[in-house]
Amino acid sequence: MQRVGAAVGPVRVILAEDDVLLRAGLAGLLERSGFDVVGQASDGAQLLALVRDRTPDLVLTDIRMPPTQTTEGLDAARVIRAEFPDIGILVLSAHVDVEHAMELLSSGHAIGYLLKSRITDVADFIDTLERIVQEDTSGCVSASCGKTSPRNARITRSRGPNDAKTTYASRRG
């Protein structure tokens, strides 16, 4: 993916995922889709160090990472948002962590949250990344499209773990 405007060239991405096979697969997928993967991390501390060193355009991070498998990725995303408000962030989770993600999602623009199990189309996933980087507020990705106002940047609450819905959230700061 090429950026538009003053910054021209591929979108620079840092991935943070403790599952090495998933991380490598995501990196390959992004590179084949025109993104420049400039760093990969397996925990929140590595993620923060890479972001501070390489200042990417976009960060993809898992919520739960070592050492405690609780909210290390989400905590790192909060720090990134505070230190680098213009970096786009997509938080991925294998679990419904709506309450944990709400604060981050309400913190500004160019931010998203997706459940890994609900990503069923690669083109939609890549489109979500592009919209986060471009701070486009025109849509969402999931069965909840049309039910959630992107301007309000909120997550549709689920009735339970088997009824989870994911939304793309973006706000202009």
Quick: pLDDT tens for 7-48. Answer: 568 999 999 999 999 999 999 999 999 999 999 999 999 999
What CATH number is given to the structural domain containing 26? Answer: 3.40.50.2300
Q: How far apart are CA 167 and CA 158, in angstroms?
A: 11
Higher pLDDT, 97 or 19: 19
Q: How far is CA 125 from the centre of its chain?
A: 10
For residue 2, being part of any structural domain is answered with: no
For residue 90, being part of any structural domain is answered with: yes
Please count the structural domains in the chain.
1
Domain that holds residue 125: 12-169
What lies within 8 Å, CB to CB, of 155 at 6+ separation is 98, 101, 102, 105, 113, 148, 165, 166, 167, 169
For residue 107, being part of any structural domain is answered with: yes
What lies within 8 Å, CB to CB, of 13 at 6+ separation is 30, 35, 36, 37, 38, 56, 57, 58, 59, 60, 129
For residue 124, being part of any structural domain is answered with: yes
pLDDT of residue 69: 84
For residue 3, being part of any structural domain is answered with: no
**pLDDT range class, residue 5, cuts 50, 70, 90:** very low
pLDDT of residue 67: 87
User: At CA 27, angle to CA 74 and CA 35, rounded to 5?
Assistant: 95
For residue 94, being part of any structural domain is answered with: yes
Determine which helix (DSSP H) or strand (DSSP E) holds 153, and give its type and residue range.
Answer: none
Structure tokens given for 45 = 């501390």
For residue 113, being part of any structural domain is answered with: yes
For residue 133, being part of any structural domain is answered with: yes
